[in-house]
Structure 1
């Protein structure tokens, strides 16, 4: 893959160049299709189309290697080459990267992380045809469920791409939808938002519900899978009318149950499965209650809005907070002595995504007592101290042991703490000892 490594160097150099104009990029990555949106720090966002003649926003998440050649294709080109018998097709790129099992192509094993990185690289390379990459200051990748395996795979892919880690962020689809919702016209965000995402594996609904009785206003995503409700091709005018009516009735019932009596101001229908006009009664009912839109690039645009918020908080999101399943549910800190006064030092803050939560610091120990981490749940109840014993640490006079503490989340509930003995200058050299501890905050 020498040719692809050269492309990685080109992309890395482009990202490292300075530009007065700034661009944020959002990539919606699934195992079926992906989308890439982009734009400046203000104004409208665009979505990358792979065709100049027509709007093709969905990029099949596929790679293909030409037979006997070191030539790799992606998206529709990959599928067309495979259909023509000219290439080996590799699908399910994200799932393969999460599983970490080697992928065999023409009797050679390829690292699935390299393949995922190659797909992202080709998307960015195509993006460079419409906007210079040296303007890009942030890339946000949004996935359905950013669990531990997904974050590890994406982190590793970013390393392969050699893009600075501080330029790359990850979001769930739910949080991307939250950012998208708050950046729409006020008439579309007076109430709740419903997303119906019709995927190959079934319908996924997401109700973004606001609690306007609190300040800041809390937004919670109520998500539900409907695996029995699969997409069907109703684009043919000769499609079975009774089958259409039954499908329409089932969709009518699902949306009615999800919405209940809530004030839903806008509904988004995502996915190719909503083509074919097979749900007239459901659409009529939805339009009575809400504004209804169809499309595919909500998550990638939401990722861009999220990137803007990280760079500089906008007025659109002031007064709102999103509490999703990937958010840290407790504050973690330490009781310390600073300049002779008792103080609390925050380590990890509740409300942040667990995969963005981490801190490193140096501390001087008062004595050889265990290091204590204070865990305070969001509700303020059941506060507890987690004690980490530094077994084998050399006995030294008070305040002559300096340690380096690294604390970060490894999942939404698990914390990993790494403590290294730094000694105290030439008087008390480091022992080289390192202590690791993991505990749950659930």
Structure 2
């Protein structure tokens, strides 16, 4: 490792944020705030009306109690509002700059080479805000990345001893916003290893208010949930994370869970997973033969049937495990005659596939294979993609008819 260049991970969660870096041994190390072992930074920002500046964390809370200004607590969701775009960029810039300064102070001024930020809900608004801010702070986009919490979870687990993930690995993250369930399973195929995470909120099972009302009853509810979960899935390790699991001892749940499996409790799994992700993406790739399938990644392969040199082929437009906001393709084909375009959606996980068709019969009928079309493929969101097919003419011989068809498909 180059000890003069830092690889930094930031967990941007709605309750607390955390910071970690890749140390000289190649492992993530959490960065504390101040002299004490205090790793959790409240995800709160304050804008001073007079000084026109933002502050973060405990400083923001303290200043809001004695100064005039605006407190923002609904982060990172507040970054969704387009009408506040300029304010959002200013907030994100102050937020990242705060953690960059913390890292520089902690490491005696080492240069930061790469930054990976991880959030629970990965949206276009947050991604755009992050990358614009990163470039405004002087960092290159190609040296930065934004991941979902599920991606960070995968990177963390894959970097543990294989005994941990020989079977399913369960993570329960209990914040004031609710209980989130993540279950990682590794599927081994001839083509690749697929690391798949199922994610769901368990608001119908347990809420933070249940802890405040009756911690013993909350423990019994979670014990019963774990009993069902452990009977349904073979689980080799369980991670308990979040403020909720530091309220009470959860003795019944832990007793149920600890039988013949590894059990861990801590708050820094996600931020360390972001650092492992940065290591994988920017330093040394140890899992290039693994396909990551989780929230934030594409879940299927999408292809188009074409005729190449007299035989039917599949033109791949998107593969499973790609960050959905980066998944896209542009291809040009010759349309033999106005007909239909055939596409296939295939899941390497379930082995299921289905076809869908786009009608091209309204496209112009020209002689000698002179109908040239352009196919554009892109995801609209995590669960929906769009395909656009356009007549682009044929050089000097035929101008484009302007005919365009576009279809959106939910997967």
Aligned to 1:4: none
Selected match of 2:84 from 102, 108, 112: 102
Aligned to 2:30: 47
Query: Are the structure 2 counterparts of residues 335 and 290 from structure 1 closer, same or farther at C-alpha, using a change threshold of 3 Å?
Result: closer
Displacement of 1:357 in angstroms is 0.8
**Alignment partner of 2:27: what SS?**
coil
Aligned to 2:18: 35
Question: 2: distance between equivalents of 1:155 and 1:49?
Answer: 28
Question: 1: distance between equivalents of 2:342 and 2:104?
Answer: 46
Query: Are the structure 2 counterparts of residues 274 and 411 from structure 1 closer, same or farther at C-alpha, using a change threshold of 3 Å?
Result: same
Aligned to 2:302: 332
RMSD of aligned Cα (Å): 3.8
The answer on whether the counterparts of 1:22 and 1:41 sit within 8 Å (CA) in structure 2 is: no
Instruction: Please list the CA deviations of residues 217-272 of structure 1 after superposition, one character each: whole Å capped at 9, or x if unmatched.
Output: 544434343336344799xxxx99xx443333233223223322644332222112
Selected match of 1:416 from 382, 386, 405: 386
**Alignment partner of 1:260: what SS?**
helix
- Give 5+ residue unaligned stretches, structure 2: none
Selected match of 2:64 from 78, 82, 85: 82
Instruction: Please list the CA deviations of residues 293-322 of structure 1 after superposition, one character each: whole Å capped at 9, or x if unmatched.
Output: 22212112222323333447744x466544
Displacement of 1:31 in angstroms is 2.0
Which TM-score applies when normalising by structure 2? 0.80
Aligned to 1:136: 113
Aligned to 1:381: 353
Displacement of 1:337 in angstroms is 5.7
Aligned to 1:359: 329
Question: 2: distance between equivalents of 1:335 and 1:42?
Answer: 49
Aligned to 2:130: 157
Selected match of 2:245 from 274, 291, 314: 274
Question: Does 2:151 align with 1:175?
Answer: yes
The answer on whether the counterparts of 1:332 and 1:373 sit within 8 Å (CA) in structure 2 is: no
Selected match of 1:308 from 265, 268, 279: 279
The answer on whether the counterparts of 2:92 and 2:129 sit within 8 Å (CA) in structure 1 is: no
Query: Are the structure 2 counterparts of residues 112 and 366 from structure 1 closer, same or farther at C-alpha, using a change threshold of 3 Å?
Result: same
Counting matched residue pairs gives 402
**Alignment partner of 1:300: what SS?**
helix
- Give 5+ residue unaligned stretches, structure 1: 1-18, 104-109
Which TM-score applies when normalising by structure 1? 0.75
Question: Does 2:319 align with 1:349?
Answer: yes
**Alignment partner of 1:77: what SS?**
helix
